[in-house]
Amino acid sequence: MIFASCNNAQKKADAQATDSVEVTPEDEWITLFDGTSLNGWRGYGRTDVPAAWTIEDGALKINGSGKGEAGAKDGGDLIYDRKFKNFELTFEWKVSEGANSGVLYLAQEVEGEPIWKSAPEYQVLDNERHPDAKLGKNNNRQSASLYDLIPAVPQNSKPAGEWNTGGVLVYKGTVVHSQNGENVVEYHLWTDDWKKLVEGSKFKGWENFINAGGENQEGYIGLQDHGDDVWYRNIKIKVLD
């Protein structure tokens, strides 16, 4: 995946943070979804897996309700039931025509609040058909973007129905998104620049979002139910602590 070479890009921007990141053996990857079971996963704010999430041809699928975010009778966002702090996450995704979803990270489980109020989001989208692709600013709601904050550049997603590779690297506040073999977003959590970015956005005043990861700077990996058919597979993570 792209993060085998990601250290070079990060060293230029944040040498102190990334010099200590070492490429570790392949067997140190943890498989979060192996294509056969939902072990380790549960619904956000619940202990079981919502029925709208199923396994189809080795992929984890959210079966769209057509009723918008978490609109299914037994839908809702999915989380892996373990918190991660410094990590490299890789996955593959594809969307149906006009579909929307997202991969959330450093999420907190706050009673009475949806997951997206505490978690940065790697956008998953059909850029050609979903109206979100034309909203926000400078394409910052297109696929692989830090949703509504930083656009993915270059924008290299594949059309609906085709598999994309994605990734998120989080290391001591430095975050990198990758898409189809290229690093497309880089930013730095908890800094003055981060706080300024959030305060100038729709997330203004959301303390759990500004302080993503909470006191321990760790959180859940989440997959969003936005009411559309979306598939994920080969979800793996490498712990960098």
> What tens digit of pLDDT does each residue of 141-151 get?
999 999 999 99
- Cβ distance 222 to 147 under 8 Å? no
Evaluated on CA atoms 227, 228, 234, 235, the torsion sign reads negative
Predicted confidence at residue 240, as pLDDT, reads 97
Predicted confidence at residue 73, as pLDDT, reads 75
Question: Does residue 25 carry a pLDDT above 60?
Answer: no
Q: Which domains does the chain have, with CATH numbers?
A: 2-13+29-239 (2.60.120.560)
> What's the token pair of residue 178?
């990758």
d(CA 162, CA 150): 24
Average pLDDT over residues 56-85: 87
State pTM to two decimals: 0.88
Q: Would you give the end-to-end CA distance of the chain in angstroms?
A: 20
pLDDT, tens digit (0-9, with 9 covering 90-100), for 191-213:
999 999 999 999 999 999 999 99
